Amino acid sequence: MDTLTTNRRRFIAYFSGAGLTSTLLPGTLWARMREQEAQEVTAEMIRECGVIAGLDLTPEQAEEMAEGVNRNLEGFASLHEQRLDNSVAPPIYFSALVPGMAVDRVERPFRPSRPAGITRPSDLEDAAFWPLTALGELMRTRQVTSVELTRMYLGRLRRYNPTYNNVVTFLDDLALREAERADAELRAGRYRGPLHGIPWGAKDILAVPGYPTTWGSDAFRSQVTEHECTVVRLLREAGAVLIAKLTTGELAGGDRWFGGRTRNPWDPTKGSSGSSAGPGSATVAGCVGFAIGTETSGSILSPSVACGASGLRPTYGRVSRFGAMTLRWTGDRLGPMCRTVEDCALVFKAIARPDERDPSVLDAPFNWDAGLDATRLRVAYFPEAFTDDPRKGADWVANDAAALDRLREIGFTLHELDVPLRDFSSDGLRALSAESATAFDAFLRDGREDELTRPGRGRGWRVNQMTPAVAYLQAQRVRGIMMAELSEGLGEYDVYVVPYGDARAGLAERDQDQGGGGGGGGGGGAPERRSATSQLFQLFNHACYPAVAVRHGFGDDGLPTGIIFVGKPFRETEILTVAKAYQDATEWHRKVPELTA
């Protein structure tokens, strides 16, 4: 047995039992003290709480521990007196890289495609669904002004928002100021690039100074921050025009917020999935040029598939998270949601750079050449994942198979791989959700849970407040071993083709899970059997691999279906290149919804 596998099994065994014997649960002890109106922890409390931590203590051991635990609780009390905002991150930084992984550090010329023959339509709204490559060409050639585009998209947002419910705050005054500046710069010969003058929308967990950043919750409806999200700043510097704060499921979970449910542009009786529901809905409805979403456990990919957008979940450490609400410090990612894959590349180029506010971001160039021969890249897929999802209907299965066939027709050789780490259970990694409980610890301790639009959201955090520190750190160590073995098991392929996890039947359930603790909360009951696809999504997500969702057809219900292209860390160029080749060879992304005002 190789050393990697041996170590993994040792750590899983440790995490499952004996490794918890060195910790107790301070939150539980505090609860017992309050119950009994006690001034200090007793030996009996120690023994009771020890059961939760997997401890079988003798009376003598409990007595010995009581003094030290009381001393520690004094320190915990002093910590609770520190009023820490959600934005305060611990100075411990996660990396998606494992030993042996190489990162391309050579910056090459950025070469996007430049469509020919782009002319302004007589009715500007006919360009509402155009990709950024075409909108940008209209701007570059000065056939349209940014003010005109901005007024057009603001008009569409206001017209369709009553039906699709995808806007929290309209930013007309800010948008028109930025649009006027973009036009003035273009007249002066200062062209900032392909996003110059293009209107966009931000998921409403991204801070914009002077405007509400509500996090989709009644508890934060009046929240106005003074700092600016780095991604918002970078897009402004690229010339883009922010026109609206788009809906997010409450505290980045699902598609329901204090204003109701964000609806799907293909069928307003259906939701847009979550939690980047507004960005998915508004982009596909042709109400913004593009949008920025965030993901902790599926919140870019899920609404991209549900709405039919092209959505990029970048590698952790590619895009600064400064100014975005924290759900999990070692899992949150920000990425573009667009109408085409190349649009994602254009936006990603503007935001994939380090700042001085998020030390986790690696200084690595994003190279893009739209003319690259994609078939030179090595592509693998997982046959079992395409057949082992009991909740997939025949329509999804057929579209998955057709997508694989189309890739072969384009010229890709699809290499077969087994689903890696089949014996690895990620249940233990639920301890990572202690990060979310920590991010909202002050909120809970202030007794504000009843202010939430859905007060039940606090239950998961309370469960995760009970996570022992040792369990959390053990989970991170097990995660590291899983990441190393995943990298080894995947071989040296450039791109991995994965069917969307659990398909339509699982979309709503997955969305509700995403926010209730940052990728897995407490909860009881026997877990159902995980499909091979579900296993893959969990592994890729915990490893923080980049992925892009692409529409690959429509289901019997008339809603889009999608497929996912995944790569190893910092390989966004490769996955976008293969995804673009597939998209260019199909017509699915060109179909637009018939909207109802």
- The burial of 169, by beta-carbon neighbours within 10 Å (0-12 exposed, 13-18 middle, 19 or more buried), is given as middle
44 class by beta-carbon count within 10 Å (0-12 exposed, 13-18 middle, 19+ buried): middle
CB 583 within 8 A of CB 565: no
Q: How far apart are CA 361 and CA 221, in angstroms?
A: 30
Q: What are phi and psi of 260, to 5 degrees?
A: 115, -145
pLDDT for residue 27: 56
State the virtual CA torsion across 283, 284, 289, 290 in degrees, nearest 10.
Answer: 50
Residue 349 and residue 366 in contact, taking contact as beta carbons nearer than 8 Å: yes
Dist CA 481 CA 8 (whole Å): 6
Task: Find out whether 4 and 478 touch, Cβ atoms under 8 Å.
Answer: no
pLDDT, tens digit (0-9, with 9 covering 90-100), for 38-80: 568 888 888 877 776 677 888 888 888 888 877 777 777 778 7
Residues with Cβ within 8 Å of 189's Cβ and at least 6 positions away in sequence, in order, are none
CA separation for the pair 11, 300 (Å, rounded): 31
DSSP secondary structure code for residue 370 in this structure: T
Counting as low any pLDDT under 70, the low residues of the chain are 1-39, 52-53, 421-426, 502-529
What pLDDT digit, counting tens, does each position of 552-589 carry?
999 999 999 999 999 999 999 999 999 999 999 999 99
Q: Left, alpha or beta for 277 (phi > 0: left; psi -120 to 50: alpha)?
A: alpha
Instruction: Count Cα neighbours of 91 within 13 Å in the Cβ-side half-sphere.
Output: 0
pLDDT of 502 reads: 54
Cα→Cα distances 404→151, 489, 563, Å = 41, 22, 10
Q: What is the mean pLDDT of the chain?
A: 88
Find the angle CA(100)-CA(106)-CA(108) to the nearest 5 degrees: 140
Tokens of 21: 């014997």
The answer to whether 415 and 440 are in contact (CB under 8 A) is: no
Domain assignments of the chain as residue spans, ordered by start: 1-82, 125-419+512-590
Architecture, CATH, for domain 125-419+512-590: Alpha-Beta Complex (3.90)
Q: If we measure between CA atoms, which residue out of 519, 323, 514 comes closest to residue 434?
A: 519
